[in-house]
Amino acid sequence: MARKVTYAQALTEALAEELERDPTVFFMGEDIAFGGVFGLSRGLQQRFGVKRVFNTPISENLIAGAGVGAAITGTRPVVELQFADFVTIAMDEIYNKAAKWRYMHGGQFSVPLVILAPEGAIGGAGPEHSQCPEALFWSAPGLYVLTPSTPADMKGLLKSAIRDPNPVLVMPHKALLNTSGEVPEGEHLVPLGQADVRREGADVTVVAWSAMVPKALEAAKRLAGQIDVEVIDPRGVRPFDFETVLNSVRKTGRLVIAHEAPVVGGPGGEVAAHVAEKALMHLEAPIRRVGAADVPIPQSALLEGAVIPQIDDIVAAIRSTTRAAAANA
């Protein structure tokens, strides 16, 4: 049985269920006690008490670093950075401590830490509250990075992340919070590192994640009847299910990578490089990347829309791969 739940509710359910299930789980972050600026932790402090759900000072280094310290001493902390952009404030704690503590110390510790950090543009939050920073963590072995695109994935991935013995950066997309979708009743876990083929198609592979998944699905719908589009959601960048992507590309011969982060220096570059290394001879057209322009995100909601990739951009990119194929023929 499944029910319709919002992405935000799915997140709260995951937190509540894991707090209930495991007394070593605790949750801390800025302003989370009253429910948080996005209302994601409403009711949790009343239910689980101040020892397990509590506010922190505005101290991002502390939030992430104390998460690591707690994780190596017998608890499973879930810590929140109010905006994913704040990973840059806590970069030493995430990139060096969370990701490397186990490795650096000879595997004597595990770091079962979840860093929850809502990402993405929501219309006017500005250059430092709208970014999708997942590309930074392609170079962070030791860390997992998840970007759920549906309520079911939000719940299932977060629950799996909390139970995982490794540090996991979970970045829900703010623009998806009010979207709804079916979530299975009862225990629902989604394994880490398994891509989801969201739509099967024969002509073009679109790899899209986070808020670009619904946009890619809409683009595929618009092109239905002309171009048969396959949409794959890798659900994050670490671990990355290259196998599913490669299998799809071997079938379609065309690849579009769509993410909200900028194209330049963005997370799609690694995917493109990997496919080029492993499956170049299967490609019938150049790989296309769809992402934000190579500029900071403007504060104006109007101009933000001009920087963030839209459905039309994905449609155009898909079309260009088929035209390129025709031109090459």
The residues assigned a catalytic role are 60, 129
Between the alpha carbon of residue 293 and those of residues 175, 194, 250, 267, the distances in Å are 19, 29, 29, 14
The two three-digit tokens of residue 21, written as one number: 């299930």
Site map (CB under 8 A) of another protein, residues 104-143, x = contact: xxxxxxxxx----------------------------xx-
Strands 114-116 and 25-29: unpaired
Q: Say how far apart CA 95 and CA 246 lie, in whole Å.
A: 28
The residue range among 29-37, 49-57, 290-298, 309-317 that interacts with another protein, by the rule CB under 8 A, is: 49-57
Nearer to another protein, 111 or 206 (CB): 111
Q: What are phi and psi of 255, to 5 degrees?
A: -135, 130
Listed ranges 24-32, 241-249, 261-269, 295-303: which one lies at the site for another protein (CB under 8 A): 24-32
Window 287-326: residues binding another protein (CB under 8 A) = none
Q: With contacts defined by CB under 8 A, how many residues of the chain interact with another protein?
A: 44
Choose between 98 and 232: whose C-beta lies nearer to another protein: 98
Rounded to an integer, what distance in angstroms lies between the CA atom of residue 214 and that of residue 179?
10
- CB 102 to another protein: min, Å: 6
Least CB distance to another protein at residue 67 (A): 6
Which residues between 152 and 191 bind another protein (CB under 8 A)?
A: 165-166
Q: Which residue's CB is nearer to another protein, number 78 or number 204?
A: 78
Beta strands in 64-203 (DSSP E): 76-80, 114-116, 144-146, 168-170, 180-184, 196-199
> Considering beta carbons, is residue 104 or 303 the nearer one to another protein?
104
Q: Tell me, what DSSP letter sits at residue 173? A: B
- Cβ atoms of 292 and 306 closer than 8 Å: no
Least separation in angstroms between residue 69's CB and another protein is: 2
**Least separation, in Å, of the C-beta of 79 and another protein?**
9
Examine residue 194 and tell whether it contacts another protein (CB under 8 A).
no
Question: How do beta strands 229-233 and 180-184 pair?
Answer: unpaired
- Containing H/E element for 70? helix 60-71
267 lies in the binding site for another protein (CB under 8 A): no
What is the pattern of x (binds another protein, CB under 8 A) and - over residues 55-84?
A: -xx-x-xx-xxxxxxxxxxxx-x-------
d(CA 192, CA 197): 15
Peptide bond into 239 cis (omega under 30): yes
Binding site for another protein (CB under 8 A): 23-24, 26, 28, 51-52, 56-57, 59, 61-62, 64-75, 77, 92-93, 96-97, 101-112, 141-142, 165-166
